[in-house]
Structure 1
């Protein structure tokens, strides 16, 4: 997909803006006033932190999309994400508030993003560009898809904050765009059928995010299951090969079953593990200088659980044979040519469709 680079960079820049707003506008709403024990926050108190973390992941995924999944872009993008999380904790400790702080953080974040993109683009000009890494792009789509469920279902202790629904909806829509963009970039060919499918999937997913935000937290479970199944099954329809020009419906049916059950099951397992064994949320809360969650509740970084669950779904859905990767045939006996056993061009992934 030729538009992958500008689309990925544009979505990363949008994620930077959401992160800046989350830091200066939303985060102050979640911090309790006073150190008294009866005012210690409870479950989901730091929902703004989860949305910021999702925005940071969106910055990384946008860079992965811009680099078409190649390691030359993916590696620096992941490093940038880790450094951004550290900077987020430090900035949160400083408690920036106001329009000036929002503009400053957004401008600074975009400057960092632009600098890294310029460096990577210059490196690309010096090296012959390789093809897209379809497995990496499909994996990125899976992470964005599962994280969409987290953003769409994010809650606060009261769910009465007027800023909660718009911010969660905006983050969810951004992640939907990244999901579909990465899946379409992973496709072996950008055909009209795939583009129409991507448009329909986008409308359905955005409508699903809006529906989830419009209903109370209790009855959200079924719509979230449906959204995950539709979005991740759509990823396979966009990214996988279509043998003979049509989807292999039997394989996509199995993918739909995995998309229905997998995200929720993985989110549950990862969340319990984080609460019992790895209290990352409490550690980040302490480092940021915020009030700890009361002992009766848990300080869970739900968005991190979403990332890990998304990586788990990537292991299931970024299936090499479905993405055109074939095992190399055994080399025939005889002398090896000057280009090695794979010839001058070397081995590369096969595809069932023409580009």
Structure 2
């Protein structure tokens, strides 16, 4: 897909802007005032951190899309994401705030993204024999489909994210913007994974994006604590749509029995994997508390859990990729 590169880079740049906004505008809203124990934050207090981390993951997915699933671009995307998280923690300790800080972080982040993309493009041009044709290879299709699955599961996490009060207007704005960006990335990566971009697939991609956007809005409209059912439905629609877009259509038509099995996995898998990753993090692996300490923020109240839901979403997305990133018919035999 010829438009994959500019679209992927544009979406990555949008994710950079979201990240900068999260650092300088959203994060200060979650900082507790005073070190007293009765003022220590509770569950979901650092929701801005999770939105920022998901924006960083969106940067990486956008790079995978821009590279059309090529190994060099995908490896660089993962490395950039890890380094960006480390930089985020260091920047969080400084507590930047204000329009000037937002602009500086956004411009600096886009400069890093542009420099990396230019380097990868230059190396690609120097090795023309390594470039693929218009259609992605089997490995590249699996990578793109896997990236779409990761973005799809992260969409559910972003759409359902909560705060202790859930009354901050910035929470809803940030969640909607992040989830919408992830929807576009999921649909774009799935379409790029298709063996050919036909009119039917493009129309399906547009319809899926609209349906998923509406689903995100419906999830946010539901009261906190009762979002499980709409989130499950959103995941089923989005991830099943990813398979219909990305998988082979022998004879010009999808193999519906395969997509029926994919729909079952999309219905049950995300929630199951999110629970399977969240429970160990709550009781055995204090990863969220470690990030809180590294960033110099107040610890979560001992009666509550410092859960890094963005990491749960990433791991669950990778697990769903193992199930659904099988775009070729031979992969599913």
5+ residue gaps, structure 2, are: none
Quote the residue 2:132 is aligned against.
Answer: 130
Using the alignment, how far apart are the partners of 1:247 and 1:320 within structure 2?
11
1:320 deviates by 5.7
2:305 aligned with 1:303:
no
Matches within 5 A, 1:152-231: 152-231=159-238
TM-score by length of 1: 0.90
Structure label with greater radius of gyration? 1
Q: Single out whichever of 4-13 and 267-276 deviates more from structure 2.
A: 267-276
2:72 aligned with 1:65:
no
Using the alignment, how far apart are the partners of 1:94 and 1:176 within structure 2?
32
TM-score by length of 2: 0.96
1:214 deviates by 1.5
Q: Single out whichever of 181-190 and 212-221 deviates more from structure 2.
A: 212-221
Using the alignment, how far apart are the partners of 1:95 and 1:264 within structure 2?
34
1:273 deviates by 1.5
**Over aligned residue pairs, what C-alpha RMSD do you find?**
1.2
Cα deviations across residues 213-239 of structure 1 (Å, max 9, x unaligned)?
122112211110100000000000000
Using the alignment, how far apart are the partners of 2:302 and 2:169 within structure 1?
28
Using the alignment, how far apart are the partners of 2:83 and 2:91 within structure 1?
12
2:291 aligned with 1:289:
no
1:49 deviates by 0.2
1:326 deviates by 9.6
Higher-helix-fraction structure = 2
Cα deviations across residues 182-231 of structure 1 (Å, max 9, x unaligned)?
00000011011101100100000000001111221122111101000000
Cα deviations across residues 224-279 of structure 1 (Å, max 9, x unaligned)?
01000000000000000011110100010000000000000000000012122221
Quote the residue 2:94 is aligned against.
Answer: 94
5+ residue gaps, structure 1, are: 328-355
Quote the residue 2:111 is aligned against.
Answer: 111
